[in-house]
Amino acid sequence: MRSIRSILLPLLLSLAAPALAEPTLPVLTEAIAAPYPPAALEAGVEANVLLQLAVDAQGAVTEALVVEPAGQGFDEAAKAAALDFRFQPATDADGNPAAASILYRYRFTLARAPIVSAQGLVRSGGLPLQGVRVDAVGPQGQRRTGLSDADGAFRFADLEDGSWRLSLQLDGYGPEVVSLEVREGALQDLSVPLYRVINEELAADDEIVVTAARVAPELTERVISADQIRYLPGTSGDVVKVIQNLPGVGRAPLGIGQLLIRGTAPEDSGYYLGGASLPIVFHFSGLSTVMPGDLLEEVSLLPGSYGVRYGRTLGGVVDLRPKLELPETSGAYASVDLYQAAAFGEYLVGDRGAFTLAGRRSYIDAILNPILGGGEATFQAPRYWDGQARYLVDAGEAGTFDAMLLASNDGFRFVGAEDEVALGLTTSFQKLRLGWTRELGGNWLSTASLLVGPQENTFQIAPAGEAWERTTSANLREELYGPLGPVTLRAGLDLVVADEGFVYDVASFGAREEAQARWVSPAVYVEPSVQLGQIRLAPGLRVDPLSVEGGFRSLAVDPRVGTEWVVGPTTTLKAGTGRYSAHPSLRQIAAEGWDQADLTTARSWQSSAGVTQELTRATSAELTGYANRLSDLIVGREDRFYFFTGPPPSGPLDEGAYANDGTGWAVGLEASVRVETERSVGWLTANLSRSTRVQRPGDEARLFRYDQPLSVTALGSTELPRGWRLGARVRVGSGDPYTPVENRILSLDQRSYLPVFGASDSARLPTFFAADLRVDREWELKRSTLTTYLEVQNATNTQNPEVMGWSFDYAREEPVTGLPILPVFGLRGEI
């Protein structure tokens, strides 16, 4: 609470000013009608609320303080309305616009209580939106303005008969225009959905201009803002690792960064940066994402039944959405923790541009290599780095441009006595991203992006051989979104052109494989969506051809449809179904003979239905069921060398030729309760699922290697007084299936044992349990902020078997357990 002195001083100064040089006070030019609190209206209560308003030199209200409260909802309503007032600015002694503070008394009288002739509800994702500005323009151009209340409701009284146009606007959401006919004062009832936008900002004429892409109104989209992520426990503040805690996402073995979405394999899910496909998102073992969260506005998880703008995947989608808003000020931070150091700087260039430079490097190698060195051979510990440079330009009506260079490099080596690399693995990429978002008029929006550059994986093992994969690709996307008659249309191009090559020449993995080819995949998609009363229906079609140099052709035609039904003020039902396809890889095509390859796209048919329910203003719940039918999965050649990011498969390998022989099912139920208040955020999620596969026709169905029948995650973080923040995460889940070893055979030639496996994936690891704690402390200094945190991962020091292993002779099971208790200390300084 401010002291009375701090409230009155600016007021007294502003009142004293005219006596000195005749400056002027702000003059109210546009008042917003506050919604009458329904309970007070019903009870016939009137009230006055005295506000102190801070008005800046542009005439906008930057702060509204309640000086004399009235309670019963009047204070909040008056304050919210006043923040949207517009003033002719105050002037100083030289006649220049100047900031000033004034007192304003907002009167709620029954005489002003409206006789409602039109009312509506505004929602996003089924939840009510408060503070939506509703501008109504009448048949003679008359204007009325209103705001939605805490229930998302807005009302207009005494509208003249005729056609009215209502424009709905709220920061962070796309504008929406609806029409209504008023006849003889009859009540018109509306329900209007608003969809999130990444960024919008006020232009000089006080019109809200959308300057960034509207995010797809996906049916099951789980979004976490980058700001929330930093403090969540158990994730070290990493943007994508947080996703692993959301409904629909399984627990990755050994805490690595794999995303197991709705019973599908990690490679079945796609990672995107603003819609363009990213080669990798995690550094080694999932320690951190390849770009800092501060470059991102939000991270979106689409676990299934998503729209046609995403393709070439059988599982889910994770889209990292870049921040497209100019920072308010220049700033920078540096941070260090147990294994990495990072720096981030953001500089305003004029009032239309911002330049960002960021980088990060791990230093496990710097600590371990001197310790491990000195012998005949040296193991060089893993190291990674990434860097980003970005320039963002707000070009007004021409839209928003951004250019970003991003690079990432991971590697480790085992160096022999002669300084030769005995064992080495690297993975890297360098990409240029260009983005351009602009409004075309008629409420149409264009979003274009290009992600271009090389990526490479290399593996060396002396003297057995080497393996590498190199791809230079360009992903061009252009999407148009806007109204077309009664429908809202989304249409786009998703073009990938690539020059891809590989060599796999590792002695113990069979014959050398080598191929090099160019390929192109020009996908197009269209998704008209219509609003039928309370129901939104969004059918779509994606056509995705693949043409590979050498003669291979493949075509995916994927119809999908989604629907959303706003059942009541707090309840929304959602459902969707559709086909998803993934083309064969270059290696699969090359192995089976280019134009002779009898391979086609692998497919999944995803269906889901769910309900979102608002329980309180701060609490919402969601329940979703899904079924994913997988067909034409490409199987075979499991004995070959592969770059992989997880534990190697156990069990007998399928050494047959590649073929579209695999099928499978993944079904499940996801439940979550989410609480979000001003100071706290938390959620409880539970996933029930079953995922099975049939490797070849005639084989018995077996559990998928990542099948997790049950996983429960509870996660929360709350802000405490004096700069403290406390968080905790608890996870319980089924262990992964594995193939047991029933006996062994001694190879006398190799002097090693060969396992005799039992039925595939017929055994299961023990139940997983882990608790993580996190405490943050923030110090506000003069021009900077210092934050420290201590995160204790696996605080109960539970020995969780995560991957099954065996003794050298397969006589005993020796599971690989996850990390023991691990305290991670971090420090971050920000200016």
Partner 1 sequence: MTTPLLLLSLFACADGPSEETLVSDLQVIATVAEPPEVAPGEQVSLRTVVADPQERGAEVLTWLCTPVGGACLEASQPLDQWVHLGASAEDSASLVVSPALGAALTQTDEVAAVAWVLACEPGLCPVVEEARADLEQGVLSPDLGAALSDPVSWMADLPIAGVSLALRTVPVSLRTAEERNANPVLRVTGPEGAVLAEGLESLEVEVEDQDQETTVYGLATAGGFGSPFSAVLGGTALLSYYAPAETVPATLYVVAQDGRGGTAVWTGEAQVR
Q: Out of 28, 334, 816, 831, name the contact with partner 1 by CB under 8 A.
A: 816
DSSP string, 376-440: SSEEEEEEEEEEEEEEEEE-GGG-EEEEEEEEEEEEEEEE-TTS-EEEEEEEEEEEEEEEEEEEE
Q: Out of 411, 625, 709, 758, name the contact with partner 1 by CB under 8 A.
A: 758
Per-residue contact track with partner 1, 725 to 744, x per CB under 8 A? Answer: -----------------xxx
For position 700 contacting partner 1 by CB under 8 A, the verdict is no
Distances from the Cα of 465 to the Cα of 347, 377, 506, angstroms:
47, 19, 4
Q: Out of 347, 363, 414, 509, name the contact with partner 1 by CB under 8 A.
A: 414
Query: Which residue from 157, 228, 170 is spatially nearest to 202, judged by alpha carbons?
Result: 170
- Phi, psi torsion values for 378, nearest 5 degrees: -130, 130
Closest approach of Cβ 742 to partner 1, in Å?
4
CA distance 238 to 218: 24
- Pairing mode, strands 331-336 and 317-322: unpaired
For position 809 contacting partner 1 by CB under 8 A, the verdict is yes
Please choose, out of 180-188, 627-635, 659-667, 751-759, the segment that lies near partner 1 by the rule CB under 8 A. 751-759
Q: Out of 349, 701, 811, 821, name the contact with partner 1 by CB under 8 A.
A: 811
For position 749 contacting partner 1 by CB under 8 A, the verdict is yes
User: Given the structure tokens 């209560």, which residue do they identify?
Assistant: 45
CA distance 688 to 625: 9
Q: Out of 412, 444, 468, 509, name the contact with partner 1 by CB under 8 A.
A: 412
For position 287 contacting partner 1 by CB under 8 A, the verdict is yes
For position 379 contacting partner 1 by CB under 8 A, the verdict is yes
Closest approach of Cβ 767 to partner 1, in Å?
20
Query: Which residue from 744, 667, 735 is spatially nearest to 701, judged by alpha carbons?
Result: 667
- Phi, psi torsion values for 78, nearest 5 degrees: -65, -45
For position 822 contacting partner 1 by CB under 8 A, the verdict is yes
Closest approach of Cβ 379 to partner 1, in Å?
5
In three state form, how does the secondary structure of 581-636 look?
A: EECCCHHHHHHCCHHHCCCCCEEEEEEEEEEEEECCCCEEEEEEEEEEEEEEEEEC
CA distance from start to end of the chain: 26
Closest approach of Cβ 743 to partner 1, in Å?
4
Q: Out of 104, 481, 757, 768, name the contact with partner 1 by CB under 8 A.
A: 757
CA distance 528 to 539: 6
Q: Out of 57, 364, 462, 623, name the contact with partner 1 by CB under 8 A.
A: 364
Closest approach of Cβ 254 to partner 1, in Å?
5
Q: Out of 143, 183, 751, 783, name the contact with partner 1 by CB under 8 A.
A: 751
What the block records as the tokens of 694 is 């049939």
> Sign of torsion, CA 437 438 444 446?
negative
Identity of residue 514 = E
Please choose, out of 206-214, 300-308, 426-434, 755-763, the segment that lies near partner 1 by the rule CB under 8 A. 755-763
Contact call for residues 189 and 119 (beta carbons, < 8 A)? yes
Contact call for residues 536 and 529 (beta carbons, < 8 A)? yes
Please choose, out of 139-147, 162-170, 469-477, 746-754, the segment that lies near partner 1 by the rule CB under 8 A. 746-754
List all residues 6 or more positions away from 371 whose beta carbon is below 8 Å from its beta carbon: none
Per-residue contact track with partner 1, 299 to 338, x per CB under 8 A? Answer: ----------------------------------------
Between CA 488 and CA 498, with CA 492 as vertex, the angle to 5 degrees is 165
CA distance 707 to 711: 11
Q: Out of 27, 203, 532, 745, name the contact with partner 1 by CB under 8 A.
A: 745
Closest approach of Cβ 427 to partner 1, in Å?
12
Closest approach of Cβ 325 to partner 1, in Å?
35
Q: Out of 120, 382, 424, 576, name the contact with partner 1 by CB under 8 A.
A: 382
Q: In what order do the strands lie in the sheet with 296-302?
A: 222-225, 296-302, 317-322, 270-273, 276-277
DSSP string, 174-194: EEEEEEEEE-TT--EEEEEE-
Contact call for residues 624 and 575 (beta carbons, < 8 A)? no
Q: Which is nearer to partner 1, 415 or 726 (CB)?
A: 415
Q: Which is nearer to partner 1, 26 or 257 (CB)?
A: 257
Query: Where do the DSSP E strands lie in 507-601?
Result: 513-532, 535-548, 552-568, 571-582
Q: Which is nearer to partner 1, 39 or 756 (CB)?
A: 756
Q: Out of 209, 343, 368, 573, name the contact with partner 1 by CB under 8 A.
A: 368
> Sign of torsion, CA 298 774 408 355?
positive
Per-residue contact track with partner 1, 90 to 129, x per CB under 8 A? Answer: ----------------------------------------
Closest approach of Cβ 585 to partner 1, in Å?
25
For position 462 contacting partner 1 by CB under 8 A, the verdict is no
Contact call for residues 241 and 476 (beta carbons, < 8 A)? no
Identity of residue 431 = K
Please choose, out of 124-132, 216-224, 630-638, 813-821, the segment that lies near partner 1 by the rule CB under 8 A. 813-821
Contact call for residues 193 and 531 (beta carbons, < 8 A)? yes
Q: Which is nearer to partner 1, 280 or 503 (CB)?
A: 280
Helix (H, G, I), strand (E, B) or coil at 561: strand
For position 422 contacting partner 1 by CB under 8 A, the verdict is no
Quickly count: other Cβ atoms within 10 Å of residue 700's Cβ: 9
For position 256 contacting partner 1 by CB under 8 A, the verdict is yes
Q: Which is nearer to partner 1, 18 or 820 (CB)?
A: 820
Query: Which residue from 437, 451, 523, 522 is spatially nearest to 480, judged by alpha carbons?
Result: 437
Q: Out of 154, 339, 502, 525, name the contact with partner 1 by CB under 8 A.
A: 339
Q: Out of 130, 285, 534, 607, name the contact with partner 1 by CB under 8 A.
A: 285
What the block records as the tokens of 616 is 């309180």
Closest approach of Cβ 376 to partner 1, in Å?
12
Per-residue contact track with partner 1, 605 to 634, x per CB under 8 A? Answer: ------------------------------
Binding residues for partner 1 restricted to 225-254, rule: CB under 8 A: 254
Q: Which is nearer to partner 1, 91 or 794 (CB)?
A: 794
Closest approach of Cβ 381 to partner 1, in Å?
5
Closest approach of Cβ 129 to partner 1, in Å?
43
For position 756 contacting partner 1 by CB under 8 A, the verdict is yes
Q: Please give the size of the binding site for partner 1, defined by CB under 8 A.
A: 36
Q: Which is nearer to partner 1, 254 or 543 (CB)?
A: 254
For position 807 contacting partner 1 by CB under 8 A, the verdict is yes
For position 819 contacting partner 1 by CB under 8 A, the verdict is yes
CA distance 47 to 105: 10
> Sign of torsion, CA 247 252 253 255?
negative
Q: Out of 1, 16, 20, 748, name the contact with partner 1 by CB under 8 A.
A: 748
Q: Out of 26, 255, 293, 304, name the contact with partner 1 by CB under 8 A.
A: 255
Closest approach of Cβ 737 to partner 1, in Å?
18
For position 808 contacting partner 1 by CB under 8 A, the verdict is yes
- Residues making contact with partner 1 (CB under 8 A): 254-256, 284-285, 287, 339, 364, 368, 372, 379, 381-382, 412, 414, 742-749, 751, 756-758, 807-811, 816, 818-819, 822
